[in-house]
Amino acid sequence: MENSHRIKNLPPYLFAEIDKMINKAKAEGMDVINFGIGDPDQPTYENIVNKMKEAVQDPTTHSYPSYEGLIELRTAVSRKYNERFNVELDPETEVVSLIGSKEGIAHLPFCYINPGDYGLVPDPGYPVYKTSILLADGNPIIMPLKKKNKFLPDLDAVSKEDAQKSKIMFLNYPNNPTGATASLNFFEKVIEFAKKYNIIVAHDAAYTEIYLDEEKPHSILEVKGAIDTAIEFNSLSKPYNMTGWRIGWACGNKDVIESLGRLKTNIDSGIFEAVQYAGIEALYNSNQDIERIRKLYKKRRDLLVDGLSNLGWSIKPNKAAFYLWIDVPEDLPSSEYSKKLFKKTGVFFTPGIGWGEYGKNYLRIALTVNTDRIKEALKRIEESNFVYK
């Protein structure tokens, strides 16, 4: 049986390959300290779990859910955006629930990309942005994220020809993998650019609540007129430690939301209502827990930055998200550098090539490892005489 051209064109998913390597090492007896995939190591907050238990016991949640999501959930999202970003959303028409934001990101191009169409994609960036366009038979146009531009795309460097033929632009701030943040002024330029060329802006805002310093990240919908051309994806996964629950949303331009919702009615049957009620509980009653988690990630960040700096590594603290993004100093590609460190110490830092060509000279370190293991990792690196050079 021959695979479709869509499957043939898909690269292997980096994290699946990483899992194989790490599992093999564990099976051979290695004590692995994995700073790889960004999955929170803390449990989902107790009040959310309790609400889930209560909702599961209610037989009315056992039927097919609504396609667009409970109005109570969409109202909770709208209220959250009003309180956090001073953005008003109509829960009826400008919010749709998702089975995790990844699902919505992957499906959006099917709403607008015809075979041969184009979309703008950041590099390095979450792999799904590029693959979603490929799966829709489109062509990704790369927007390099470079250190000299603070890991923001240079819109002036996008050619007029590429801008005119692009239908969608994916963005993600706070950024995975670089930990970079975007100012409101930058988002204003994005919206101006998108309106000029009639481009839909799809902003992945999954990390807006994971900020480690005083400055709070922005929603692109804060920009005046953004809702004319933009939607924002968000999720309960990272701030509420709910990665396995698979619940998120898209919000913004009502026409784009309607199109995404219409596609979803033909693909899935919505989110289990008990999970939605747990999500409502999260949005209304978990602010104190999120603040505790921010402090935890900040403590880990500072421990790693100080420890690696003392060992001679060139490293700067991230302001948001829970990732450190580090230059690889040698001519060795980051994938080989990562393997070299792993074999010598059992400490795994993810090679940046997994997020695109412009990540090939970087490593990503996720702050989802407890302080004792961080101290152990630093000790191993020091004792191994692994030299950052």
Residue of 358, 347, 351 whose CA lies nearest to 328: 351
Q: What does the pLDDT look like over 242-263, one tens digit per residue? A: 999 999 999 999 999 999 999 9
With 0.75 as the threshold, say if the pTM is over it.
yes
Q: Please report the pLDDT score of residue 116 as a whole number.
A: 94
Rounded Cα–Cα distance for residues 274 and 283 (Å): 15
- Is the CATH code 3.40.640.10 the one for domain 63-285? yes
Q: Please report the pLDDT score of residue 241 as a whole number.
A: 98
User: At 20, is the pLDDT very low, low, confident or very high (cuts 50, 70, 90)?
Assistant: confident
Q: Please report the pLDDT score of residue 386 as a whole number.
A: 82
User: At 13, is the pLDDT very low, low, confident or very high (cuts 50, 70, 90)?
Assistant: low
Q: What does the pLDDT look like over 51-88, one tens digit per residue? A: 999 999 999 999 999 989 999 999 999 999 999 999 99
Residue of 1, 30, 6 whose CA lies nearest to 348: 30
Q: What does the pLDDT look like over 131-172, one tens digit per residue? A: 999 999 999 999 999 999 999 999 999 999 999 999 999 999
- Please say if the pLDDT value at position 317 is more than 90: yes
- Please say if the pLDDT value at position 9 is more than 90: no
- Please say if the pLDDT value at position 331 is more than 80: no
Could you tell me which CATH number the domain at 5-44+288-383 has?
3.90.1150.10
Provide the 10 A C-beta neighbour count for residue 6: 12
Q: CA separation (Å) from 193 to 146, 167, 228?
A: 20, 12, 13
Q: Please report the pLDDT score of residue 334 as a whole number.
A: 87
- Please say if the pLDDT value at position 130 is more than 80: yes
Q: Please report the pLDDT score of residue 332 as a whole number.
A: 77
What's the mean pLDDT when you consider all of the chain? Answer: 95
Rounded Cα–Cα distance for residues 244 and 257 (Å): 24
Rounded Cα–Cα distance for residues 230 and 250 (Å): 10
Residue ranges of domains in the chain: 5-44+288-383, 63-285
Q: CA separation (Å) from 156 to 159, 160, 190?
A: 8, 9, 11
Which residues 6+ apart lie within 8 Å of 331 measured at CB? none
Q: What does the pLDDT look like over 204-217, one tens digit per residue? A: 999 999 999 999 99
Contact 264, 67 (CB under 8 A): yes
Say if strands 33-34 and 248-252 run parallel, antiparallel, or are unpaired.
Answer: unpaired
User: At 21, is the pLDDT very low, low, confident or very high (cuts 50, 70, 90)?
Assistant: confident
Contact 293, 241 (CB under 8 A): yes
User: At 7, is the pLDDT very low, low, confident or very high (cuts 50, 70, 90)?
Assistant: confident
**Helix, coil or strand: residue 139:** strand
Please provide residue 49's backbone torsions phi and psi, each rounded to the nearest 5 degrees. Answer: -60, -40
First to last CA, the chain: 49
Which residues 6+ apart lie within 8 Å of 127 measured at CB? 11, 13, 14, 354, 355, 356
* % pLDDT > 70, the chain: 98
Position 350, amino acid = T
Q: Please report the pLDDT score of residue 14 as a whole number.
A: 66
